[in-house]
């Protein structure tokens, strides 16, 4: 059902880097193409053209208007910040810092995506990104035997997800502390494979399932 709703919001397959980023940002904000076009003061057909034609080349003015309507930056829409870390903008004038409730943390975690896991190694703690899903209130991910994320098995670990919005100098983070274990039951492996949102981006053989069972979940939000 969630995927069907996402498809309806997207309103057609995006094409090209700009088109994909425009559509992804709209979906993130929960906007239809018509709603986004209205915010930008442009025809929905023109926005559809930008999303669906990889050779579309809007002018700087149109990009600035779209960035403002979608609450982002021109660099983010065009991929100019792909190799830059988030959070490079100055702090907001009057930032509000709040602690997130356990329920709010659960909602943000359950949106799935990419998180960072900190595991102990012989040379000290190491932090690496993993594609994860939340199943039965636990963090699950696939990795390869012997890979760094697999070291979470049998250890207390930390897992973190966040979202940074450079355009507004705001964002949130959720920290999970828990115990990692390798899933060895074949029936459980099959169930996790059916419920996982996506395969690891790294590709290759990733047939080791690791589950993090939380004992503490905390979160923070900074709003401009």
- CATH number where 40 lies: 1.10.260.40
Per-residue confidence band for 44, with pLDDT thresholds at 50, 70 and 90: very high
User: Do 16 and 106 have their domain in common?
Assistant: no
Work out the percent of the chain whose per-residue pLDDT is above 70.
87
Residue 163: the pLDDT is 87
Statement: residue 191 has pLDDT above 60: yes
CB neighbour burial string for 202-211, b if at least 16 within 10 angstroms, e if fewer: eeeebebbbb
Q: Is the pLDDT of residue 9 over 50?
A: no
Question: pLDDT, tens digit, for every residue of 74-132?
Answer: 888 888 766 666 666 666 677 788 999 999 999 999 887 899 999 998 889 999 999 99
Q: Give the mean pLDDT of the chain.
A: 85
Judgement on whether residues 100 and 210 belong to the same structural domain of the protein: yes
If asked whether residues 169 and 111 sit together in one domain, one would say yes
Indicate the burial class of 179 (C-beta count within 10 angstroms; 0-12, 13-18, 19 or more): middle
Is residue 49 included in any domain, yes or no?
yes
Instruction: Name the pTM for this structure.
Output: 0.69
Antiparallel, parallel or unpaired: β 138-143 and 208-223: antiparallel
**Of 51, 78, 105, the domain-final residue:** 78
On whether residue 21 sits in a domain, the answer given is: yes
Q: Is residue 88 part of a domain?
A: no
Query: Is the same domain home to 62 and 142?
Result: no
The span from the CA of 41 to the CA of 39, in Å, is 6
Mark whether 108 and 175 lie in a shared domain. yes
- Ranges 13-17, 45-49, 149-153: which has the least confidence: 13-17
Res 4: pLDDT:
36
User: Around 149, how many Cα atoms within 13 Å sit in the side-chain half-sphere?
Assistant: 26
140 and 72 in a single domain? The answer is: no
What contacts 24+ positions apart, CB below 8 Å, involve 57-65? 58/18, 65/40, 65/41
Domain that includes residue 120, residue range: 96-223
pLDDT bucket at 194, cuts 50 / 70 / 90:
confident
Question: Are both 30 and 103 inside the same structural domain?
Answer: no
Rounded distance, CA 56 to CA 65, Å? Answer: 16
Whether 214 shows a pLDDT value over 80: the answer reads yes
Residues 217, 171 within the same domain: yes
Read off the CATH number of the domain in which 122 is found.
2.30.110.10
Answer yes or no: is pLDDT of 205 > 60. yes
Residues 69 and 144 in one domain: no
Percentage of residues in the chain having pLDDT higher than 90: 46
Instruction: Evaluate whether residue 20 is within a structural domain.
Output: yes
Kindly tell me if the per-residue pLDDT of 1 is higher than 50: no
Q: Please give the full DSSP string across 17-44, using - where no structure is assigned.
A: HHHHHHHHHHHHHT--HHHHHHHHTS-H
Q: What are the tens digits of pLDDT across the range 145-158?
A: 989 999 999 999 99
Looking at residue 90, the DSSP 8-state letter turns out to be: P
Where does a domain end: 50, 78, 106? 78
**Where a domain ends, among 78, 106, 132?**
78
Q: How confident is the model at residue 219 (pLDDT cuts 50, 70, 90)?
A: very high
* Whether 25 contacts 77, CB under 8 Å: yes
């Amino acid at each position: 059902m969630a995927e069907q709703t996402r498809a309806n919001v997207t309103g057609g397959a995006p094409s090209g880097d700009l088109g994909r980023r425009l559509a992804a940002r709209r979906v993130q904000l929960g906007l239809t193409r018509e709603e986004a076009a209205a915010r930008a003061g442009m025809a929905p057909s023109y926005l559809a053209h930008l999303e669906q034609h990889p050779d579309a080349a809007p002018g700087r003015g149109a990009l600035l208007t779209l960035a403002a309507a979608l609450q982002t930056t021109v660099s983010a829409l065009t991929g100019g910040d792909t190799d830059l870390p988030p959070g490079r903008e100055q702090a907001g004038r009057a930032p509000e810092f709040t602690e997130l409730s356990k329920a709010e943390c659960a909602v943000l975690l359950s949106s799935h995506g990419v998180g960072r896991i900190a595991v102990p190694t012989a040379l000290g703690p190491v932090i690496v990104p993993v594609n994860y899903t939340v199943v039965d209130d636990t963090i699950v991910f696939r990795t390869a035997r012997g890979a760094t994320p697999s070291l979470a098995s049998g250890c207390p670990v930390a897992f973190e997800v966040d979202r940074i919005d450079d355009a507004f100098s705001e964002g949130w983070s959720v920290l999970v502390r828990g115990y990692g274990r390798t899933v060895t039951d074949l029936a459980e492996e099959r169930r996790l494979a059916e419920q996982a949102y996506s395969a690891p981006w790294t590709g290759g053989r990733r047939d080791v399932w690791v589950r993090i069972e939380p004992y503490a979940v905390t979160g923070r939000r900074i709003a401009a």
